[in-house]
Structure 1
Amino acid sequence: MAIEITHVRFGSTKKTEDEIVRFRWTNITTGTTGDNDKRTMVAWVEKEENSAFAGSGTDHVEVRVVRPRFGQPYLRTYADGQWTNNLVNLPAF
């Protein structure tokens, strides 16, 4: 299954990928929508059969899991061989 992450919610005033606590998304195939907390989304993205993206058209980039040495795993975008910050630029909900 593939989804597009459309909105994010931050858990503090610091607006970085690791501070995102909730994600709103749209299923790319069916158009269904939903939202999930960070832990659920990290587990979902880690499954091989799933893929997540941020943006659409030529601006769509892959979302992957980051596992820092210290702290909890979180989602971040990855494009052209580099980690990017597209998720923090999404609208908040």
Structure 2
Amino acid sequence: MAKLARIHCINKTDKMNPHERIESVGGVYPNGSRWRQSVSQTIKDIESGEWEFYIEEDGIVVGLIVATHDGQKYIKTAADDIHPNNLLLLAECP
């Protein structure tokens, strides 16, 4: 069974393409300390089946998936179409 991790925040690049704008995601461990990792690591974790990531928005839990656009892998929420807006709306990680 995959481990679950909630994404609380993101870090963006200056790129305008929504599929390239997020460079890392982060969250909070149960002990209160923060974690952050690259999108490429998050993609590896999802594809390996070891981890499942999600966001919670207005009490609704939405899982993250790996998608491909123009040959490039990126993460998005399962609820989004081609633009990963749910993730882009999260706060910046400290």
Same fold (TM over 0.5): yes
Give the conservation status (yes or no) of the 8 Å contact 1:24–1:34.
yes
Q: How big is the shift at 1:47?
A: 2.0
The question of 1:86 aligning with 2:86 is answered yes
Aligned to 1:40, the other structure's residue is in SS state: helix
Task: Count residues with an aligned counterpart.
Answer: 88
**What runs of 5+ residues in structure 2 fail to find an aligned partner?**
none
Judge conservation of contact 2:13–2:20 (CA < 8 Å) in 1. no
Q: Which residue of 2 aligns with 1:68?
A: 69
Matches of residues 1-93 of structure 1 in structure 2 within 5 Å?
A: 1-12=3-14, 14=16, 16-26=18-28, 30=30, 33-55=34-56, 58-70=59-71, 72-79=72-79, 82-83=80-81, 85-93=85-93
60-69 vs 13-22, which deviates more?
13-22
User: Structure 1 regions of 5+ residues with no counterpart?
Assistant: none
* Secondary structure of the corresponding residue to residue 16 of structure 1: coil
- Identity of matched residues, %: 16
